[in-house]
Amino acid sequence: METKIVAIDAGQPQPERIQEAARIIQSGGLVAFPTETVYGLGADALNPQAAQKIYAAKGRPSDNPLIAHIADFEELPALAAEISDTARTLMRLYWPGPLTLIFKKTETVPFATTGGLDTVAVRMPSHPVARALIRAAGTPIAAPSANRSGRPSPTKALHVREDLDGHIDMLLDGGEVGIGLESTIIDVSSSRPLLLRPGFISEETLKKTLKRLAVDTACMEPMAPGVHPRAPGMKYRHYAPQAPLTIVRGTDAQVEKAICFQAKEALCAGKNVGILCASESLLTYRHRLKKEGCRDCQSGRLLASCVCSLPYKDGEARLMLEVSGSRREPAEIAHHLYDALRSFDRARMDVIFSESFECGSLGGAIMNRLKKAAGYHILEV
């Protein structure tokens, strides 16, 4: 299959391009499109065959349910059997926006969309392209992140192409997304609201409105074997780059020292090494690695990646420093996280070390993704 790539204005999407994409959705096809969180892989949420195609294109296990996206409040009652007062409060505060709510499903929603569950996840995105597409299609759009299952979510059209080119009908290229992390998910299908996935709307912020908000332990910890997850997606490996990733945690100075030590060991063994760090520590790494014999480190823009190399006995191993953003701007770190992980793949790094980014109210969501990407491989120093 050839994937048609169509540029679209993120602020004022061209109606004829939206119409073309909407016709594909209506006829059961797949269209990747930008949302404010990450790129989504869209299909008609009410068409079981179309939902199946999403699972096939992503290589996603069929019990990992999809989120149905709507553009207007009036579309919700067709999908959600019960809408609690808590849900109404959250919708008033955060829709349209990066919040997904889990409801008991109506009969209209096929089990193919909900992974066999009797609940349905619904979100109302704020991105103009997503909203225009849902309205033009005239149906809720099921849209998980537009990546191969397990890989970092796509925040640029390039990332979608890396994973899905040739497997989907169309990609609407609306440039880079704004937030860069998937939506916050809250289960409002029972009496006590339960946070299933942290996101841009943080636990801290939510607790100001929802005093009784419970937090699923699987948000931050690996799941114990045999435990049945509340959100089936929790049990799968997620967001991971190809090379093994280790998070190093401790004081800034200890972390910098430990990462440089580990990097040098790996370089001397001939491995290409990626380091993900905050902009505040970039100069320290450069200085230390230069002292260790690394050369060709380019100076320049702080957000640009820096590649240098170290000769070892059989040749030369490369080192790549990626800056995730400033610790004073956690939203910048969230925005750049997946792109940084994917750039290590493009540069064929063999091992990756990352600082820990437990900063600000977004730190929970960032570390939730990073820990899963690392398979919970954390080095405490």
Applying CB under 6 A, the residues found at the interface with ligand AMP are 64-65, 67, 102, 114, 117, 119-121, 144-145, 182, 185, 196, 231-233
CB of 143 to Mg ion, least distance (A): 10
β-bridge partners, 6: 172
**Which among 69-77, 109-117, 139-147, 322-330 is the span making contact with Mg ion, rule CB under 5 A?**
139-147
* Integer angstrom CA distances of residue 372 from 62, 91, 150, 237, 345: 20, 28, 10, 7, 17
* Residue pair 9/174 in contact by the 8 Å Cβ criterion: yes
Binding status of residue 145 toward Mg ion by CB under 5 A: yes
Cα separation of 56 and 254, whole Å? 44
Find the residue with minimal CB distance to ligand AMP: 233
Nearer to ligand AMP, 120 or 294 (CB): 120
196 interface partner picked from ligand AMP, Mg ion, none, CB below 5 to 8 A per type: ligand AMP
Alpha carbon 121 to chain centroid, angstroms: 17
Nearest-approach distance from CB 355 to ligand AMP, in angstroms: 25
Can you tell me the distance from the alpha carbon of 366 to that of 335, in angstroms, rounded to the nearest whole number?
Answer: 10
Q: Which span sits near Mg ion by CB under 5 A: 143-151, 173-181, 184-192, 342-350? A: 143-151
Residue with Cβ nearer ligand AMP (24 or 117): 117
Stretch that binds Mg ion, among 105-113, 138-146, 172-180, 360-368 (CB under 5 A): 138-146
Distance CA 123, CA 66 (A): 11
Residue 47 sits in the site that holds Mg ion (CB under 5 A):
no
Per-residue burial over 235-244, b = 16 or more CB atoms within 10 Å of its CB, e = otherwise: beebbbbebe
**Closer residue to Mg ion in complex, CB, 37/272:** 37
Which range of residues in 42-50, 65-73, 144-152, 263-271 is near Mg ion by CB under 5 A?
Answer: 144-152
Q: Where along the sequence are the contacts to Mg ion (CB under 5 A)?
A: 144-145
